[in-house]
Structure 1
Amino acid sequence: MLTWVRTGRASAVCVLVCAVLLAVQQVWYFGGWGSPETRTLVTDATYVPLALAFTVLAVRVAVSKRQEPRTRRAWRVIAVAFVCQLAAHGSWFVQSHFLETTAYPSAADYCFLLFSPFMFAGLLMLPGQHRRRRDRQKLALDALIVGAGGFIAIWYLLLGPILNASGLTAWQRTFTAALPIGDLLLVLAMSTAMLRRHQPEVPAPIRLLAASIALTVSADVSYSWLQLNGGFTGGSWPDLLWLDGCFLLVLAADQQYRRPRHATSRRRDRNAVFLLPYAASIAAYVLLAVQSSHLPINPYGGMIFGAAVLTLLVMARQSHALRDNREMAVTDGLTGLANRILVTERLDLLAGQPIRSGRQSAVLLIDLDRFKPINDTFGHEAGDAVLVATADAMRRVIRDGDLAGRLGGDEFAVLLLNLPTRQAAGSIAARLLEELRMPVVFGEHVLMVEASIGVAVRDDPDASGETLLQQADTALYAAKRAGRGRFEFYSDVMDTKAREAELRRAVAGDELVVFFQPAVTLATGAVRGVEALVRWNHPVRGLLGPGEFIELAEETGAVVPLGAWVLRAACREAAGWRTGIPGSDALRLAVNLSPKQVAQADLVTTVETILAETGFPPDRLTLEITESVILQPDPLTIGRLEALRDLGIQLAVDDFGTGYSALSYLRRLPVTVLKIDRSFVTGIADDPEARSVCEAVVHLGEAFKMTVVAEGIETAEQATALIDMGCGIGQGFFFHRPLPPADATALIRDQFASRLP
Structure 2
Amino acid sequence: MTWIRTGPAAAAGVLACAVLLVVQQAWFLGGWGGPEVSTLVTDATYIPLAVVFTVLAVRVAWSKRQEPRTRRAWRVITVAFACQLAAHCSWFIQSHVTHVSGYPTTADYCFLLFSPLMFAGLLMLPGQYRRRRDRQRLALDALIVGAGGFIAIWYLLLGPILVAPGMTLWERSFTAALPIGDLLLVLAMSTALLRRHQPEVPAPVRLLAGSIALTVAADVSYSWIQLHGGFSGGSWPDLLWLAGCFLLVVAADRQYRRPRRPAPRRRDRNAVFILPYAASVAAYLLLAEQSSHLPLDPYGGMILGAAVLTLLVMARQMHTLRDNREMAVTDGLTGLANRTLVSERLDQVAGQPIRPGRHTAIMLVDLDRFKPINDTFGHEAGDAVLVAAADVMRAVLRGGDLAGRLGGDEFTVIVQDLPSPQTAGVVADRLLEQLRTPVIFGEHVLMVGASIGVVVRDDPYASGETLLQQADTALYAAKRAGRGRFEYYSDVLDTKARETELRHAVANDELVVYFQPAVALTTGVLRGAEALVRWNHPTRGLLGPGAFIDLAEETGAVVPLGTWVLRAACREASAWRAAIPGAGALRMSVNLSPKQVAQADLVQTVEDILAETGFPADRLTLEITESVILQPDPPTISRLQALRDLGIELAVDDFGTGFSALSYLRSLPVTVLKIDRSFVTGIADDAEARSVCEAVVHLGGAFKMSVVAEGIETAAQAAALIDMGCTVGQGFYFYRPLPPAEATALVHRQFSMVR
Deviation readout 1:391-440 (Å, 9 max, x if unpaired) = 22222222221111222333322211111122111211222222233334
State whether residues 513 and 537 of structure 1, in contact with CA within 8 Å, keep that contact through their aligned partners in structure 2: yes
Query: What is the DSSP-based 3-state SS (H/G/I as helix, E as strand, rest coil) of the residue aligned with 1:261?
Result: coil
Cα distance between partner residues in 1 of 2:288 and 2:511: 83
The residue that corresponds to 1:351 in the other structure is: 350
Amino acid at match of 1:136: R
Distance 1:691 1:366, change over 3 A: farther
Distance 1:317 1:742, change over 3 A: same
Amino acid at match of 2:422: Q
Distance 1:722 1:17, change over 3 A: same
State whether residues 684 and 717 of structure 2, in contact with CA within 8 Å, keep that contact through their aligned partners in structure 1: yes
The residue that corresponds to 1:130 in the other structure is: 129
User: What is the Cα deviation at residue 705 of structure 1?
Assistant: 4.3
Query: What is the DSSP-based 3-state SS (H/G/I as helix, E as strand, rest coil) of the residue aligned with 1:270?
Result: coil
Cα distance between partner residues in 2 of 1:423 and 1:544: 29
- Report the more deviating stretch, 39-48 or 59-68: 59-68
The residue that corresponds to 1:199 in the other structure is: 198
Q: How does 1:636-647 map to 2 (within 5 A)?
A: 636-647=635-646
CA RMSD in angstroms, aligned pairs only: 3.0
Cα distance between partner residues in 2 of 1:683 and 1:442: 58
- Report the more deviating stretch, 34-43 or 595-604: 595-604
The residue that corresponds to 2:115 in the other structure is: 116
Cα distance between partner residues in 2 of 1:688 and 1:17: 94
Q: Percent identity?
A: 81
The residue that corresponds to 1:311 in the other structure is: 310
Query: What is the DSSP-based 3-state SS (H/G/I as helix, E as strand, rest coil) of the residue aligned with 1:273?
Result: coil
Distance 1:437 1:115, change over 3 A: same
> If the length of structure 1 is used for normalisation, what is the TM-score?
0.92
Query: What is the DSSP-based 3-state SS (H/G/I as helix, E as strand, rest coil) of the residue aligned with 1:272?
Result: coil
User: What is the Cα deviation at residue 706 of structure 1?
Assistant: 3.7
Cα distance between partner residues in 2 of 1:661 and 1:370: 37
The residue that corresponds to 2:74 in the other structure is: 75
Amino acid at match of 2:295: P
User: What is the Cα deviation at residue 69 of structure 1?
Assistant: 1.6
State whether residues 93 and 99 of structure 2, in contact with CA within 8 Å, keep that contact through their aligned partners in structure 1: no
Distance 1:544 1:481, change over 3 A: farther
The residue that corresponds to 1:608 in the other structure is: 607
Amino acid at match of 1:405: G
Q: How does 1:11-160 map to 2 (within 5 A)?
A: 11-160=10-159
The residue that corresponds to 1:568 in the other structure is: 567
User: What is the Cα deviation at residue 85 of structure 1?
Assistant: 1.2
Amino acid at match of 1:624: E
Distance 1:700 1:155, change over 3 A: farther
The residue that corresponds to 2:388 in the other structure is: 389
Deviation readout 1:221-259 (Å, 9 max, x if unpaired) = 111111112222211111111111111111111111222
Cα distance between partner residues in 2 of 1:666 and 1:449: 51
Distance 1:95 1:313, change over 3 A: same
User: What is the Cα deviation at residue 745 of structure 1?
Assistant: 4.7
User: What is the Cα deviation at residue 187 of structure 1?
Assistant: 0.7
State whether residues 149 and 279 of structure 2, in contact with CA within 8 Å, keep that contact through their aligned partners in structure 1: yes
Distance 1:155 1:698, change over 3 A: farther
User: What is the Cα deviation at residue 512 of structure 1?
Assistant: 2.6
Distance 1:628 1:128, change over 3 A: farther
Cα distance between partner residues in 2 of 1:447 and 1:675: 53
Query: What is the DSSP-based 3-state SS (H/G/I as helix, E as strand, rest coil) of the residue aligned with 2:128?
Result: coil
Q: How does 1:623-662 map to 2 (within 5 A)?
A: 623-631=622-630, 633=632, 635-656=634-655, 658=657, 661=660
Cα distance between partner residues in 1 of 2:275 and 2:679: 77
State whether residues 518 and 528 of structure 1, in contact with CA within 8 Å, keep that contact through their aligned partners in structure 2: yes
Query: What is the DSSP-based 3-state SS (H/G/I as helix, E as strand, rest coil) of the residue aligned with 2:89?
Result: helix
User: What is the Cα deviation at residue 499 of structure 1?
Assistant: 3.6
Amino acid at match of 1:394: M
Q: How does 1:255-294 map to 2 (within 5 A)?
A: 255-294=254-293
Deviation readout 1:117-137 (Å, 9 max, x if unpaired) = 111111111111221111111
Cα distance between partner residues in 1 of 2:740 and 2:377: 60
- Report the more deviating stretch, 286-295 or 12-21: 12-21
- Report the more deviating stretch, 119-128 or 351-360: 351-360
Cα distance between partner residues in 2 of 1:557 and 1:27: 71
User: What is the Cα deviation at residue 579 of structure 1?
Assistant: 4.9
Q: How does 1:166-245 map to 2 (within 5 A)?
A: 166-245=165-244
Query: What is the DSSP-based 3-state SS (H/G/I as helix, E as strand, rest coil) of the residue aligned with 2:539?
Result: coil
Cα distance between partner residues in 1 of 2:446 and 2:180: 70
Cα distance between partner residues in 1 of 2:184 and 2:356: 48
User: What is the Cα deviation at residue 449 of structure 1?
Assistant: 3.6
Cα distance between partner residues in 1 of 2:141 and 2:448: 49
Cα distance between partner residues in 1 of 2:630 and 2:280: 75
Cα distance between partner residues in 1 of 2:236 and 2:675: 95
State whether residues 143 and 191 of structure 1, in contact with CA within 8 Å, keep that contact through their aligned partners in structure 2: yes
User: What is the Cα deviation at residue 667 of structure 1?
Assistant: 4.8
State whether residues 5 and 14 of structure 1, in contact with CA within 8 Å, keep that contact through their aligned partners in structure 2: no
Distance 1:414 1:289, change over 3 A: same
The residue that corresponds to 1:558 in the other structure is: 557
- Report the more deviating stretch, 555-564 or 98-107: 555-564
Query: What is the DSSP-based 3-state SS (H/G/I as helix, E as strand, rest coil) of the residue aligned with 1:64?
Result: coil
User: What is the Cα deviation at residue 750 of structure 1?
Assistant: 6.3
Cα distance between partner residues in 2 of 1:393 and 1:184: 55
User: What is the Cα deviation at residue 284 of structure 1?
Assistant: 0.8
- Report the more deviating stretch, 739-748 or 277-286: 739-748
Distance 1:318 1:539, change over 3 A: same
Distance 1:724 1:321, change over 3 A: farther
Q: How does 1:138-537 map to 2 (within 5 A)?
A: 138-520=137-519, 527-537=526-536
The residue that corresponds to 2:619 in the other structure is: 620
Cα distance between partner residues in 1 of 2:210 and 2:329: 31
> If the length of structure 2 is used for normalisation, what is the TM-score?
0.92
Q: How many residue pairs end up in the alignment? A: 755
Gaps of 5+ in 2: none
Q: How does 1:677-696 map to 2 (within 5 A)?
A: 677-679=676-678
User: What is the Cα deviation at residue 334 of structure 1?
Assistant: 2.5
Amino acid at match of 2:38: R
Cα distance between partner residues in 1 of 2:624 and 2:60: 58
Cα distance between partner residues in 1 of 2:357 and 2:182: 50
Distance 1:19 1:497, change over 3 A: farther
Distance 1:433 1:719, change over 3 A: farther
The residue that corresponds to 1:670 in the other structure is: 669
- Report the more deviating stretch, 657-666 or 545-554: 657-666
Deviation readout 1:198-223 (Å, 9 max, x if unpaired) = 21100111111111111111111111
Query: What is the DSSP-based 3-state SS (H/G/I as helix, E as strand, rest coil) of the residue aligned with 2:455?
Result: strand
User: What is the Cα deviation at residue 94 of structure 1?
Assistant: 1.2
Query: What is the DSSP-based 3-state SS (H/G/I as helix, E as strand, rest coil) of the residue aligned with 1:530?
Result: strand
Gaps of 5+ in 1: none
Deviation readout 1:21-63 (Å, 9 max, x if unpaired) = 1111111111111110111111111111111221222222222
- Report the more deviating stretch, 533-542 or 699-708: 699-708
State whether residues 519 and 531 of structure 1, in contact with CA within 8 Å, keep that contact through their aligned partners in structure 2: yes
Distance 1:753 1:20, change over 3 A: closer
- Report the more deviating stretch, 530-539 or 683-692: 683-692
Cα distance between partner residues in 2 of 1:432 and 1:279: 45
Amino acid at match of 2:166: G
Query: What is the DSSP-based 3-state SS (H/G/I as helix, E as strand, rest coil) of the residue aligned with 1:101?
Result: coil
Q: How does 1:696-735 map to 2 (within 5 A)?
A: 701=700, 704-713=703-712, 729-733=728-732, 735=734
Cα distance between partner residues in 1 of 2:636 and 2:187: 67
Cα distance between partner residues in 1 of 2:675 and 2:447: 42
Cα distance between partner residues in 1 of 2:700 and 2:309: 94
State whether residues 200 and 270 of structure 1, in contact with CA within 8 Å, keep that contact through their aligned partners in structure 2: no
